[in-house]
Amino acid sequence: MADAEQVLIVGGMTCAACVSRVEKVLKRVPGVSAAEVDLMTGQARVRYAGIVSTASLAEAIARAGYTAAAAPPPPEPFWPVGIALALSLPIAISMLVAAFGGTMLPGWLQLVLATPVLLWFGSGFVVRGWKSIRVGAPSMDALVAIGTWAAFLLSLFNLLHPMPEMAPLYFDSAALVIALVLFGRFLEGRARRQAGAALRDLARLQPARVTRIVGDTAEEIDLLALRPGETFRIRPGERVAADGVIVEGHSEQDEAALTGESLPRDKAVGDAVLAGALNLSGLLLVRAEKIGAETALGRTVRLVEAAQGRKPAVQKLADRISAVFVPVVLGIALVTLLGWMLHGASASVAIVNAVSVLVIACPCALGLATPAAIMAGTGAAARHGIVLRDPDVLATAQRIRTVVFDKTGTLTEGKPRLMACMPVAASTEDDVLRIAAALQQGSLHPLAHALLAVAPLDKAAAQMQEFPGRGVGGVVEGRHFRLGNARMLGEAGLEAGELAQAASALAHEGASVSFLFELAPQARLLGLLGFADTPRAGAAEAVAALQARGLRCVLLSGDNPASVAAMAATLGLDAAIGGVLPAEKAAHVAKLRESGPVAMVGDGINDAPALAEADLGIAMAGSADLAAETAGIVLMRPDPRLVAAALDIAARTERRIWLGLAWAFGFNMIGIPLAALGRLEPALAGAAMAFSSLAVVTNALLLRGWKPTERLNG
């Protein structure tokens, strides 16, 4: 039985060390097989076998010093930060004035201002820090608590000294560090909410109420009360409540928020509509097919949420470093304290320098770098119709050397039309169309739709049988017929004969050729059908954009090689491989991988093995569920130009991750030695620490302005 999964919102986490500790305590709960915690969203995804209660998970989180809830808490208010700053800044300003020859505040007044900051606003650091020390995994809160209280107690001792005017006071450092850390976390929280804004905007597109139509009666109900098969009404200006099919009316709809398509789309009877789309002009009646989480919008939100909750390999490395980072910093602070004292410095100087080490070494930036970039990048991509399902695709996208395209439905419209019908022997064109239509009745293949759109309707063939990658067969009027490609014709021991030249000419024009032949009572060829599929708008531009990135583009299809080669030449691809059975596609992709990482772009069930075999699978809009589940990237509209855009946003997100981590590591590599050498006052260290975290998040938020047109047009 597959593991179950539960998501909890963890409160009180402030750094990567917190993440590591929560993951450890969750993994110790009996039955839990895996736990992943995201600092940016606060989400803890727990997978378990058997029965694991929410209470047991929440209890484990509480023991580690954090809170657990089913929903995210409301945003932290600013007033605690404001009061802490209001109490701290007068002390800091007076110290600055004194440094330039002025008079600082009396010591007792500094004590009065600093005490409530430590006892009130700093109490949370003490509580959480003590809990983290008690479980053997000290956190950033422990660093702040130890550092600020050391500075405060040292100042209090000096104030009560017989000659306080000669003893330095550090009340400004103790109070201001707490105020700055609180301010930094407030800004981080706001930045986190901004990073997740795109996903929340998507989730809000689906209305909570819907007008259901029963007979001649219209009633407004909760969306959750609507059932598949029921009819609902959409007025102009309303959002579509569920995926469905129009049964009455005509309108235009804006699907930009769902697919990134900027132009409105005409909608008429029989057309599909998507939940969250904006109805612009006409009144529509729609038959509901998918509701709530099962809609395309719901699936998109789930996929992006899952991607934001997973960790790429680089973050797992950062987590391992963070798990030992705080204990190492405590050791460095102790060495700093002892080192200064052994070199003859006063206890005050030694303690202050050790405090600076504790304060500057905040691992918050280290923990925020990856999730901030992933949230911003996946959110920006989703806003433009690109779903990055797995964060590991971010690193893969930069290494791709070859992009393999399926043909039908990917680079072409997937809606071919019948362009030729050629009978032979005693057959007539009507005979060929009638029998072929009988064989294709009920088939979902694009060529079947093209045939049935023009062929006379008749009874379906009996004993229907599909031959994947070849064609179909069945019994019509007591005779066994097959309709398929040249391979199927050859397997039956027949030849194209007088139709060979026409078939070759059609294939070179890019057409797909199907032969109709009889197996019994007499094996004979009856005729051929030629189907033409047109390239999608922007297909050639998509190929050119990928080639401009230095990528090789290959067309891989089950259609006849000549047809595939003709389409590849039309669109400018570098190579074409045709006549490939579905089971063979994965093998061809594996062979192409020998020359470097490969991305596979497809849309059908038969593409799923190839998508899985490729280093990166990209599923087009309207893909079969299996193909979409296999792919690492899903495109929400059938625009092949989004392939280049998807690779671009994935690569940009990966670069932002590494830039953020480089900043976080580099900041600590420079800041800690400076603090240990006495070059940073605790208050300045606190400000620098807050700036570091804010810089990392801001670096990630730059991705929010990304637009695919920046790359689609060159």
Average confidence (pLDDT) over 286-295: 87
Q: 390 and 430: one domain?
A: no
Q: Is 203 inside a domain boundary?
A: no
Round the CA-based radius of gyration of the chain to a whole number and report it: 33
- In this structure, are 639 and 677 located in the same domain? no
Assigned domain for 380 exists: no
**CATH at residue 248:** 2.70.150.10
- For the ranges 288-302, 555-569, 612-626, the lowest mean pLDDT is seen at 612-626
Distance CA 613, CA 590 (A): 7
CA distance 53 to 31: 10
Least confident of 13-22, 471-480, 515-524: 13-22
Name the region of 212 (left: φ>0; alpha: ψ -120 to 50; beta: rest). Answer: beta
Are both 476 and 519 inside the same structural domain?
Answer: yes
Q: Is 683 a residue whose pLDDT tops 70?
A: no
Q: Which of 604, 630, 647 is the last residue of a domain?
A: 647
Q: Are 638 and 620 in contact, with CB atoms under 8 Å apart?
A: yes
- Residue with the bigger pLDDT between 424 and 77: it is 424
The CATH number assigned to the domain holding 451 equals: 3.40.1110.10
Do 57 and 190 lie in one domain? The reply is no
Hey, what amino acid is at 695?
Answer: A
Task: List active site positions.
Answer: 406
Confidence at residue 164, expressed as pLDDT on a 0 to 100 scale: 47
Whether the link from the prior residue into 521 is cis, omega within 30° of 0, is yes
pLDDT at 534 (0 to 100)? 79
Q: Give the pair of three-digit tokens for residue 237.
A: 């200006």
pLDDT interval class at 362 (50, 70, 90) = low
pLDDT of residue 415 exceeding 80 = no
Which of 532, 559, 591 represents a domain boundary (last residue)?
Answer: 532
Q: What CATH number corresponds to the domain at position 9?
A: 3.30.70.100
Token reading at 202 = 């998507």
pLDDT grade, residue 714 (50/70/90)?
very low
**Same domain, residue pair 232 and 337:** no
* Same-domain check for residues 497 and 406: no
Dist. CA 309–CA 632, nearest whole Å: 15
Q: Is residue 488 one of the residues assigned to a domain? A: yes
Q: What number of other Cβ atoms are within 10 A of residue 220's Cβ?
A: 10
Distances (CA, A) of 130 to 19, 135, 257, 432, 549: 17, 9, 47, 84, 53
Rounded (10°) angle between helices 364-383 and 682-701:
20
- Of 106-110, 630-634, 647-651, the one with minimum mean pLDDT is 630-634
User: How many domains does the chain contain in total?
Assistant: 5
CATH of the domain at 596: 3.40.50.1000
Bridge-based pairing of strands 243-248 and 209-214 is unpaired
686 lies in a domain? yes
Check whether residue 521 and residue 569 sit in a common domain.
no
pLDDT at residue number 625: 53
- Give the end-to-end CA distance of the chain in Å, rounded to a whole number: 49
Q: Which of 509, 532, 555 is the last residue of a domain?
A: 532
Tens digit of each residue's pLDDT (9 = 90 or more) over 503-534: 888 877 767 789 999 988 888 899 999 887 77
At residue 713, the pLDDT reads 41
Q: What is the predicted pLDDT for the residue at 423?
A: 92
pLDDT tier at 229, thresholds 50, 70, 90:
very high
187 and 310 part of one domain: yes
H-type alpha helices, 549-681: 561-571, 582-592, 608-613, 625-630, 641-676
Q: What is the pLDDT of residues 372-414, one digit of tens each?
A: 788 788 888 888 888 887 777 888 888 999 999 988 778 887 6
The answer to whether residue 712 sits within a structural domain is no
Same domain, 356 and 397: no
Worst-scoring range by mean pLDDT, 53-57, 305-309, 691-695? Answer: 305-309
pLDDT band at 711 (very low <50, low <70, confident <90, very high): very low
Residue 74 belongs to a domain: no
Exposed, middle or buried by CB within 10 Å (0-12, 13-18, 19+), for 616? buried
Claim to verify: residue 337 and residue 287 sit in the same structural domain:
no
Q: Give the single-character DSSP code of 535.
A: B
Give the residue-averaged pLDDT of 589-608.
83
pLDDT(626) > 50: no
Element (DSSP H or E) covering residue 348: helix 347-360
Q: Is 335 helix (H, G, I), strand (E, B) or coil?
A: helix
- 349 closest CA partner among 143, 111, 170, 93: 170
pLDDT, average across residues 6-12: 83
- Return the H-helix or E-strand segment holding 190: helix 171-195
pTM greater than 0.75 (yes/no): no
Assign 479 to helix, strand or coil: strand
On whether residue 379 sits in a domain, the answer given is no
Tokens for 48?
A: 């378990």
Same-domain status, 120 and 88:
yes
> Do residues 559 and 577 share a domain?
yes
Residues 6+ away with beta carbon under 8 Å from 364: 14, 15, 16, 140, 184, 185, 188, 689, 692, 693
**Is residue 381 included in any domain, yes or no?**
no
Residue type, 687: A
Domain that holds residue 433: 417-532
